[in-house]
Amino acid sequence: MRTITKLWIGIIFLVLISPLGLIIPQYFKAGDAWGEWGVETLEELVGYVPKGLERLADIWSAPLPDYAFKGWEDKPLGYLSLAYVFSGLFGIMVTSLVIIFITKLLHKNESK
Degrees, nearest 5: CA angle 36-42-44: 130
Q: What is the mean pLDDT of each run of 10 residues along the chain (112 residues)?
A: 92 90 84 79 91 86 77 85 87 93 86 64
C-alpha to C-alpha distances, 61 to 71, 103, 109, nearest whole angstrom: 16, 27, 33
Residue 111: the pLDDT is: 66
Residue 48: the pLDDT is: 93
Q: How far, in Å, CA of 99 to CA of 105, rounded?
A: 10
Residue 93: the pLDDT is: 93
Residue 3: the pLDDT is: 93
Return the domain boundaries, the chain.
Answer: 3-33+65-110
> Would you give the DSSP letter of residue 33?
P
